[in-house]
Amino acid sequence: MELIESVQNTRIKNIAKLHTRKDRKKAQQFLVEGYHLVEEAVKSGLEVETILSVNPDDISEEMVEASKEQYQITFKIAEKLSQTESPQGIYAVCNMPQHELADFKQLVYLDRIQDPGNVGTIIRTADAAGLDGVVISKGTVDIYNDKVLRASQGSVFHLPVIEADFSEVKEDFLGKVFGTSLKDAKNYKDAAVPESFMIVLGNEGQGVDEEILAAADENLYVPIYGQAESLNVGVCAGILMYHFKG
Amino acid sequence: MELIESVQNTRIKNIAKLHTRKDRKKAQQFLVEGYHLVEEAVKSGLEVETILSVNPDDISEEMVEASKEQYQITFKIAEKLSQTESPQGIYAVCNMPQHELADFKQLVYLDRIQDPGNVGTIIRTADAAGLDGVVISKGTVDIYNDKVLRASQGSVFHLPVIEADFSEVKEDFLGKVFGTSLKDAKNYKDAAVPESFMIVLGNEGQGVDEEILAAADENLYVPIYGQAESLNVGVCAGILMYHFKG
């Protein structure tokens, strides 16, 4: 296995660029860090271009088979590629999967959700709940952001996640569209449970966009019985997804 | 209003000590940071000893009335007291409330939950769901930890949170005790919804302690329909609490 020693190596410089959303989009690739996530990426059947590791023994046979190339790297390079405080020294460069909205029957739509932990958790929960996919608006945090990947615990690799405008999705989607809002809305437990649904969750501070609420078939709220002002959007998403899974 | 200028001031040194769990316990006090949380603490009716602010105008009349003393501080001191990257410069020292388990009918019990964000979110959700309180085991992260306070969005101030061994609580609690476990458990939707319940949630990696599972009246799981290995414990807590609220 070839050893890369220089942090100035062109390949390394290009991989480090994948830390920014702009360059991920340009390359149509993203960077996965840490043993567990690299393993999940490999298992998921994603196209893995490159695996890099400080310790070549960490690269399993399965990882070698699933990837086009493997390199040993120095700890200095591992630090350059890392976005965590204590790097495990193993990385994978993956090609972004291409998905179509096509036949999806159960979806969540994320309208400008900002916190990477919230987005990762919602993708993980949508995967657990057996939904068909997650659609994100333009203003939602990039799902290939390192923190989203970690919070999703690998579910970004399993579940189709697509970026699309709400109006686009609404046009193609035949199921029931549920907005979420604290005003002019119905208690979620009082809504009929349809076979096909899309639950729209909104920005942490501002909630779901007014135009989306107006276009939704029905708007729902999760009741607040105590003194808390609101629920965390990831928790709210979990309550609704599991409720409508019937 | 008196201005404190020296970071070596004894009062400031004692307040900075409240960053550690040990010293919080000794003083039976904790430190609240940031405008929104200080406001929540004041509104909640907690005993507020001291309010400190870089900008005296940030100290509202309500804050003055609710607290024993107020000080203006320098930005250097604000930085010393802060546990965030961009301090807002306002702090409150509060006395820890004393709660009794007494007549609680609907509870969650947190068994060695480690992540402050998870604990804060669960307290916030328990408050929203109108539960009577949260009980935490010894190994659970301190609820007066700055990150727990922030994730709870002030719900730590509204909802009774008590530290107690499971065996102690179990003895006094007359309702149904639900453990959570992925094996030897029942789908939560198949369990009867009792009026009084305690839901036990476990450590992020290890789940609920075996002895607790053995002592519970019934053990439940939230089904995983997709490829995710598990749910985030905060999301799982939300799904169960809202389900059993009926």
Q: Which residues contact A19 (CB under 8 A, 6 or more apart)?
A: A31, A83, A146
Tell me the pLDDT band of B246, cut-offs 50, 70 and 90. Answer: low
* Distance to chain B for A125, nearest Cα, Å: 6
Asked whether the beta carbons of A79 and A16 are under 8 A apart, the reply is: no
Token pair recorded at residue B23: 């010293």
Going by C-alpha positions, the residue among B137, B220, B143, B144 that lies closest to residue B181 is: B220
Tell me whether A205 touches chain B (CB under 8 Å): no
Tell me whether A94 touches chain B (CB under 8 Å): no
Q: Are residues A112 and A229 in the same domain?
A: yes
Query: Is residue A164 included in any domain, yes or no?
Result: yes
CA-angle at A42, arms to B205 and A97, nearest 5°: 110
Query: Is residue B135 included in any domain, yes or no?
Result: yes
Query: Is residue A101 included in any domain, yes or no?
Result: no
- How many H-runs (helices) and E-runs (strands) does chain A carry? 11, 12
* Residue range B52-83, pLDDT digits in tens: 999 999 999 999 999 999 999 999 999 999 99
Collapsed DSSP state (helix, strand, coil) of residue B128: helix
Among B106, B125, B245, most A C-beta atoms within 10 A, so best to mutate, is B125
Asked if the Cβ–Cβ distance from B226 to A153 is below 8 Å, we say no
Tell me the pLDDT band of A173, cut-offs 50, 70 and 90. Answer: very high
In chain A, which ranges are E strands? 2-4, 29-33, 48-53, 67-73, 90-95, 106-111, 133-136, 161-163, 176-180, 186-187, 197-202, 218-221
Residue A246: the pLDDT is: 67
Q: Distance between CA atoms of B117 and A209, rounded to whole angstroms?
A: 27
What's the number of domains chain A is made of? 2
Q: Are residues A129 and A233 in the same domain?
A: yes
Among A155, A188, A239, most B C-beta atoms within 10 A, so best to mutate, is A239
CA-angle at B179, arms to B177 and B180, nearest 5°: 150
* Minimal Cβ distance to B231: which of A128, A158, A159: A128
Mean pLDDT score, B203-229: 96
Q: Kindly report the CATH number assigned to the domain that includes residue B9.
A: 3.30.1330.30
Q: Are residues B237 and B122 in the same domain?
A: yes
Q: What domain range includes position B192? A: 106-244
* Residue range B80-136, pLDDT digits in tens: 999 988 899 999 999 999 888 777 999 999 999 999 999 999 999 999 999 999 999
Tell me the pLDDT band of A208, cut-offs 50, 70 and 90. Answer: very high
Token pair recorded at residue A43: 């298992």
Tokens 């078939």 correspond to A217
Mean pLDDT score, A91-112: 92
Going by C-alpha positions, the residue among B242, B229, B121 that lies closest to residue B182 is: B229
Query: Is residue A100 included in any domain, yes or no?
Result: no
Please state, in angstroms and as integers, the Cα–Cα distance from residue A16 to each residue in A9, A27, A30, A32, A38, following that order: 11, 12, 10, 11, 16
Tell me the pLDDT band of A86, cut-offs 50, 70 and 90. Answer: confident
Q: Are residues A131 and A201 in the same domain?
A: yes
Q: Are residues A116 and A226 in the same domain?
A: yes
Tell me whether A128 touches chain B (CB under 8 Å): yes
> Whole-number mean pLDDT of chain A?
95
* Domain final position from B61, B95, B129: B95
Tell me whether A222 touches chain B (CB under 8 Å): yes
Asked whether the beta carbons of B6 and B75 are under 8 A apart, the reply is: no
